[in-house]
């Protein structure tokens, strides 16, 4: 894979769940690693939710191979991408990993 395709710097984040001294559960996100990626929006689906029109954007994010958990998310600038699934590309001889994601804070 040519490095020029991976022109976006993104943060790979994982949810951290902690319990404070009062027993309250808090959730936060921690950046695991900053990586290079290619981001491409694929499709938009409009739907009605709570009597208002909403849009859902499906995005393809390509990175160099690494372990990705479905509970992780990717952040690029101020945009949050929720990971839906991953695909290995046998044609590229595992040079890259393709991630399907939804744009927006779905799993917050």
Residue 12 lies inside a defined structural domain of this protein? yes
Nearest Cα to Cα of residue 36 among 67, 63, 17: 63
What DSSP assignment string belongs to 28-94?
EEEEEEEEEEEEEEEEEEEEEETTEEEEEEEEEEEESS----TT-EEEETTEEEEEEEEEE-GGGTT
pLDDT for position 46: 55
| Percent of the chain at pLDDT exceeding 70 | 76
CATH number of residue 21's parent domain: 2.40.10.270
Asked, for residue 64, whether it belongs to a domain, the answer is yes
43 within domain boundaries: yes
Q: What would the mean pLDDT of 76-82 be, rounded to a whole number?
A: 92
Residue 9 three-state SS:
strand
User: How many domains, the chain?
Assistant: 1
The reply to whether 93 falls in a domain is: yes
pTM for the model stands at 0.77
Residue 32 located in a structural domain:
yes
In a domain, 16, yes or no: yes
Residue 108 domain flag: no
- Cβ of 12: how many Cβ atoms within 10 Å? 20
CA 92 to chain centre: 21
Domain assignment of residue 26, given as a range: 3-103
Which residues share a beta bridge with 31?
A: 13
The answer on pLDDT for 48 being more than 80 is no
């Amino acid at each position: 894979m040519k490095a020029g395709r991976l022109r976006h710097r993104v943060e790979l984040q994982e949810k951290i769940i902690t319990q404070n001294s009062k027993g309250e559960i808090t959730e936060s996100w921690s950046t695991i690693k900053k990586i290079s990626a290619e981001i491409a929006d694929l499709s938009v689906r409009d739907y009605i939710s709570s009597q208002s029109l909403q849009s859902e954007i499906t995005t393809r994010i390509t990175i160099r191979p690494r372990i990705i958990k479905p509970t992780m998310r990717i952040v690029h600038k101020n945009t949050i991408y929720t990971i839906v699934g991953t695909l290995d590309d046998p044609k590229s001889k595992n040079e890259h990993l393709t991630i399907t994601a939804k744009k927006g804070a779905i799993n917050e």
